Amino acid sequence: MTEPVHTDFIVVGSGISGLRAAISLAPSGSVTVLTKDQIDESNTQYAQGGIAVVLNDDDRIELHVQDTLDAGAGLCDEDAVKVLVEEGPRYILELIHHGAEFDRDEGLLAFTQEAAHSRRRILHAHGDSTGREIGRSLLAWSKHFDSIKYLTHACTQSLILKDGRAVGVTFVDPESQRIKAIYGRAIVLATGGAGQLYEHTTNPDVATGDGMAMSYRAGASMSDMEFVQFHPTALNVSGAPRFLISEALRGEGGVLRNDAGERFMPQYHESAELAPRDVVSRSIFFEMRKTGASRVFLDMTALDRNFVRERFPRIYSTCLLYNVDITRDQIPVSPAAHYCMGGVRTDTEGRTSVPGLYAAGEVTCSGVHGANRLASNSLLEGLVFGARAGAAAAREAPRSLEYAKPPDSDFGEAQNWRIDKEVRAEVRRIMWERVGIVRTAEGLTSAIGELGAIASRPLNTTSWNFVTLGRLVAQAALARTESRGSHFREDYPHRNDADWTRHSVQIKGPAAGESPGD
């Protein structure tokens, strides 16, 4: 074991939540930001459509709150939603002050419409590169603080506990490729989501849910893991990645057509293409099953070509690489795993059930999204709750700590720390086929059994984390015998408010099996 590293505060993740948390922590001591790839590689960079905020003259806080509650299908925590919406404008204006360049129309901020929003309240940057611009501006702002240090290509493995308190993490040292420990007075997890659990996803390769699994293993309460949002429209072209085709295209007038060229969404929902994401994804799923097709088409050809090119430059140029001109051609699309509403349970200050451990962004279940995230609320959540988690960690951290020995199993051969390729492929196939857009008890039970068999093999920590996360999603989905928001059970197709207007909670116990380091 190599000599451990010491810092005042540890931030794991360099997306919007992690960078904003680091900025809040910076005046209170040394901050080390660990990220498993480059500093600018995270889900934040792939967020196209925009960030929802009440800054438009015809909008009101109460409307954004209500839209969020409606999308969440009865499971949003209203206090958390109010914090998000009420504090959002302050943090957006602060971000603009520090250099974020959102698109404008004649000098005024330009807002667009997205599904299930009652007003045009979506800010965007460079057309369809909102997340990238926010990430750029936050990184530039964070570099003004000498107290913030960055450790890239440092994949975290486990939380280190001392008397039940989180005091550090183990990570892969990027130089030696050996497992190392870092200790701090408080830890903020901002590791993002787990879209890579699924065979088809809009998420980058780094989105493997490490922070969620680490927290579960450390005894943190996990909540609402069954709620996984599938984005309705990911590019579906042979040889192409499942590149996100933003909701904003439908907000600007794009329509969905089946293989026969027929517009089908009005048959499924009165809001047609602007129905909530879960409705649109399921509608596409059922339409493909009915027609025997593997994709549908998003049609933008009725819109002005110059407008489409200028409004969606990144999508336009990316689709051209795969011989699809979105101004002339219908775009082949199908749903893909996109966002986890569930995660580590936190309060409105980012506190988890493990002392010393705070979290923000997609790794959490903050109560903001409920059963179905409202479009473009995720970036706002990362910004607001990243700031709040960092501030709480700085305020509440003890002056000193007694450090603990890391889990022995994390200190293995250097080449053994990555997720096993075969395990990764097996888990992703099982999750897509049996724990996907439409679920049944038979499929979920089968998935839990298969995932359990994989978990019983001799696995390194990272592989075990990945499999375990899949099991948590499948187990929560089997337990919820209703359909609500993004969770749809074909054998229980109706919402059951009498029994299920409550959050699911999972805490590691003997039934969870032995994990590496136990």
Active site members: 277
Helices 421-434 and 461-479: angle between axes, nearest 10 degrees = 10
List C-alpha distances in Å: 93 to 67, 89, 96, 136.
Answer: 22, 6, 5, 16
Q: Six-digit token pair at 105? A: 């129309």
Rounded CA-CA distance 111/177 in Å is 46
Query: 345-380 burial, b for 16+ CB within 10 Å, e for fewer?
Result: bbbbbbbbbbebbbbbbbbbbbbbbbbbbbbbbbbb
- In eight-state DSSP terms, residue 62 is H
Rounded CA-CA distance 346/360 in Å is 8
- In eight-state DSSP terms, residue 338 is E
Q: Which helix (H) or strand (E) holds 234?
A: strand 228-235
Helices 421-434 and 441-455: angle between axes, nearest 10 degrees = 170
Strands (E), 9-126: 9-12, 31-34, 51-52, 104-105, 108-109, 111-112, 122-123
Rounded CA-CA distance 158/395 in Å is 24
Rounded CA-CA distance 349/185 in Å is 17
What spatial distance separates the first Cα and last Cα of the chain, rounded to whole Å? 18
Beta carbons of 345 and 221 less than 8 angstroms apart: yes
HEC string of 129-197? CHHHHHHHHHHHHHCCCCCEEEECCCCEEEEEEECCEEEEEEEECCCCCCEEEEECCEEEECCCCCHHH
Beta carbons of 150 and 39 less than 8 angstroms apart: yes
Rounded CA-CA distance 362/44 in Å is 10
* Total residues found in the chain within this entry: 518
Rounded CA-CA distance 276/367 in Å is 18
Beta carbons of 453 and 423 less than 8 angstroms apart: no
Question: Residue 429, SS3?
Answer: helix
Q: Six-digit token pair at 375? A: 């479009």
The radius of gyration computed from the CA coordinates of the chain, to the nearest angstrom, equals 22
Beta carbons of 345 and 222 less than 8 angstroms apart: yes
Beta carbons of 173 and 2 less than 8 angstroms apart: yes
